[in-house]
């Protein structure tokens, strides 16, 4: 029997073994560029050597700030080859967020591009190596030797939202990542005949599946263009033209993708689709099965347990009436416990505690929080630590779990795990803000964040605009509330606590209103037609040429509805990405005119 590539429980040695065995297999498809496994190996080893020359030692952290690309894939693999742990930073983050992540993770070095380095302050406090410098550096003459004893060292740090207002970095070990990928390969095998789409933002730990899983098992990575990861037309074209067989979707993006398909359009090139990150509805499963012959698997697991810890293949014919998160994958322990830490009876709800090889090494430089969330197993104190997930589940059938919701305030929007407390803390740092509260309004893909503020003075549009700007400069876009509502004081319950029910009722008032004057109602005028459609989709009043779709509360789902309605009324074929690139009424009309002029 062949020894598995990850027998040493390490990503670096497994990658090197795979590349050495099959150097001519296609490894990365990035636009028109195709890189073979041997080329990826040579560039990754070269970069890893330069990282070591710049002082990176086993256990060090290396920040990676690059657009989604072949360069990004090579950079993160180079970090693990050098013996370090990569901290991948989303290039869409505002500058202050980038600086926080650098300060908190304390990397030995930042690996980025010259163009992105130019956007950062000179006094970063972190040494920098650019991919251009890597490309220009002469190759090392010596043989590359992996560092010793890395199995239980961190390979990856994933930052998630923090309830105290401070994001926290979860330390994922070589052993944990290797075990998860091995489990996934055993249940959903891929080989050199497969192609895996890489589109997930590096803030999700599931981007590791899209990068390391295909690299370790010979499949090619197909890279989605930067900024186009939520453009369903772009993704559908990649799947079709690049013959993608395997895709991971966060549930909301799966919803978005299916909504964007035209009547009768199918996605039968896919062989298997994985989803998770949010609750999966039976209706969405039914719609996917009606559009594709691929299997659909629901994966569940917080970042603190390395990508996923349960899995369930959604049955078809008939489609399920209840979607489960499934049973424990290999090398995983699950406990469903009550508030006193005692096992609940079968079928009763309880909080899910997760143990096993995938449990992370804790939070970087957060010993108190680590001790709070990673606890002894009350059933078997001699066993390893359990991660207290905060998720409410119950055993639906023997060994099969159903997700019921959260036991705390944490929410999920488009798969992003969000702690309202972090947003509230950031709002309170804005000048003139005395109090802040954030709630999630709506359900499923319609969920939006709504912020409530009590200002030092009477709320004005200027004050709220300054608060919104303050947030946009400090938080990722998915954490910025769609609207802010000023209040004279916060509503309280009889026992003096903030009355979230009242705020939820008031959230309907948060829908932004159009600011422009109405466009002339000429049916032949594309600007007028767009303004009319956007007004309907957004539930806003008359729109003017300068009104912005996203500033008025639009999102990816409403964008799809707006584009499809525009196509129905005009007969035009409108590329979905235009609404993201030209989001004002007149600007969008001009972009459509330019796009269709040559047809």
pLDDT tens digits for range 366-378: 999 999 999 999 9
* HEC per residue, 450-514: EEEEEECCCCCHHHHHHHHHHHHCCCCHHHCCCEEEECCCCCECCCCCECHHHHHHHHHHHCCCC
What's the pTM value of the predicted model, to 2 decimals? 0.83
What's the rounded Cα separation, in Å, for the pair 243 and 264? 20
- Show the tokens assigned to 594: 């330019």
- Torsion 340-341-346-348 (CA) sign: positive
Q: At what angle do helices 282-291 and 251-260 cross, to 10 degrees?
A: 50
For residue 355, give the 3-state DSSP assignment. Answer: strand
The pLDDT value recorded for residue 186 is: 96
- Helical (H) or strand (E) element with 65: strand 61-65
Q: Which residue has the tokens 């799809």?
A: 560
For residue 311, give the 3-state DSSP assignment. Answer: strand
pLDDT at 433 over 50: yes
The pLDDT value recorded for residue 596 is: 75
Q: Which residues contact 301 (CB under 8 A, 6 or more apart)?
A: 276, 307, 308, 309, 310, 354, 358
Mean pLDDT of the 474-483 span: 86
For residue 27, give the 3-state DSSP assignment. Answer: strand
Please give the share of the chain, as a percent, with pLDDT higher than 70. Answer: 93
pLDDT tens digits for range 242-263: 999 999 998 888 988 998 888 8
Mean pLDDT of the 593-599 span: 72
What confidence tier does 520 reach under pLDDT thresholds 50, 70, 90? very low
What confidence tier does 383 reach under pLDDT thresholds 50, 70, 90? confident
Using the 8-state DSSP alphabet, how is residue 269 labeled? T
The pLDDT value recorded for residue 416 is: 79
What confidence tier does 509 reach under pLDDT thresholds 50, 70, 90? low
Q: How far is CA 82 from CA 21, 352, 385, in A?
A: 20, 36, 29
pLDDT at 221 over 60: yes
The pLDDT value recorded for residue 512 is: 56
- Show the tokens assigned to 38: 């041997």
Secondary structure (DSSP) of 551-589: TTT--HHHHHHHHHHHHHHH-----THHHHH--BHHHHH
Domains of the chain in start order, with CATH, are: 225-412 (3.40.50.12780), 419-510 (3.30.300.30), 526-596 (1.10.1200.10)
Mean pLDDT of the 576-587 span: 88
Which residue(s) pair with 159 in the sheet? 169
Q: Which residues contact 391 (CB under 8 A, 6 or more apart)?
A: 302, 351, 352, 403, 405, 406, 407
pLDDT at 521 over 70: no
Mean pLDDT of the 195-199 span: 98
The pLDDT value recorded for residue 448 is: 82
The pLDDT value recorded for residue 523 is: 36
pLDDT tens digits for range 20-35: 999 999 999 999 999 9
């Amino acid at each position: 029997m062949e020894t598995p590539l990850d027998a040493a429980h390490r990503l670096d040695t497994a990658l090197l073994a795979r590349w050495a065995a099959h150097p001519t297999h296609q490894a990365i498809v990035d636009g028109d560029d195709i890189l073979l496994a041997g080329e990826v190996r040579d560039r990754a080893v070269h970069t890893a050597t330069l990282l070591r020359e710049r002082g990176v030692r086993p256990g060090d952290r290396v920040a990676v700030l690059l657009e989604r690309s072949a360069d990004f894939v090579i950079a993160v693999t180079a970090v693990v080859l050098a013996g370090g742990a990569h901290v991948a930073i989303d290039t869409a983050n505002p500058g202050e967020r980038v600086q926080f992540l650098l300060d908190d993770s304390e990397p030995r070095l930042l690996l980025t591009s010259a163009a992105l380095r130019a956007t950062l302050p000179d006094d970063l406090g972190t040494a920098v190596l650019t991919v251009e410098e890597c490309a220009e550096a002469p190759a090392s003459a010596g043989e590359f030797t992996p560092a010793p004893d890395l199995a239980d060292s961190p390979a990856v740090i994933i930052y998630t939202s923090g309830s105290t207002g401070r994001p926290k970095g979860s330390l994922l070990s070589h052993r944990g990542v290797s075990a998860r990928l091995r489990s996934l390969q055993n249940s959903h095998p891929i080989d050199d005949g497969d192609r895996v789409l890489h589109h997930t933002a590096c803030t999700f730990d599931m981007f590791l599946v899209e990068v390391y899983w295909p690299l370790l098992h010979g499949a090619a990575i197909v890279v989605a263009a930067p900024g186009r990861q939520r453009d369903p037309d772009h993704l559908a074209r990649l799947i079709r033209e690049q013959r993608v067989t395997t895709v991971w979707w966060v549930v909301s993006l799966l919803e978005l993708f299916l909504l964007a398909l035209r009547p009768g359009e199918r996605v039968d090139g896919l062989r298997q689709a994985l989803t998770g990150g949010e609750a999966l509805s039976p209706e969405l499963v039914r719609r996917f099965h009606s559009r594709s012959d691929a299997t659909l698997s629901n994966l569940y697991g917080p970042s603190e347990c390395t990508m996923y810890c349960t899995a369930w293949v959604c049955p078809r014919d008939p489609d399920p009436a209840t979607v489960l998160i499934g049973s424990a994958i290999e090398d995983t322990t699950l406990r469903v416990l009550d508030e006193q830490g005692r096992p609940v009876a079968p079928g009763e709800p309880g909080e899910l505690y997760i143990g096993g090889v995938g449990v992370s090494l804790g939070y970087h430089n957060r010993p108190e929080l680590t001790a709070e969330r990673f606890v002894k197993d009350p059933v078997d104190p001699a066993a390893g630590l359990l991660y207290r997930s905060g998720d409410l589940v119950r055993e639906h059938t023997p060994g099969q779990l159903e997700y019921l919701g959260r036991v705390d305030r944490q929410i999920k929007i488009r798969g992003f795990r969000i702690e309202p407390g972090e947003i509230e803390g950031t709002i309170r740092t804005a000048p003139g803000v005395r109090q802040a509260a954030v709630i999630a309004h709506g359900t499923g893909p319609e969920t939006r964040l709504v912020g409530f503020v009590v200002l030092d003075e009477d709320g004005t549009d200027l004050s709220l605009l300054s608060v919104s700007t303050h947030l946009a400069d400090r938080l990722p876009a998915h954490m910025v509330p769609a609207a802010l509502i000023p209040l004279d004081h916060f509503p309280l319950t009889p026992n003096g606590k903030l009355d979230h029910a009242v705020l939820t009722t008031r959230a309907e008032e948060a829908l932004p209103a159009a600011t422009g004057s109405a466009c002339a109602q000429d049916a032949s005028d594309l600007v007028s037609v767009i303004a009319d459609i956007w007004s309907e989709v957004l539930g806003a009043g008359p729109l003017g040429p300068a009104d912005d779709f996203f500033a008025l509360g639009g999102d990816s789902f409403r964008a799809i509805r707006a584009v499809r309605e525009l196509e129905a009324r005009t007969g035009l074929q409108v590329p979905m990405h235009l609404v993201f690139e030209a989001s004002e009424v007149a600007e969008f009309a001009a972009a459509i005119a330019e796009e269709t002029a040559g047809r």
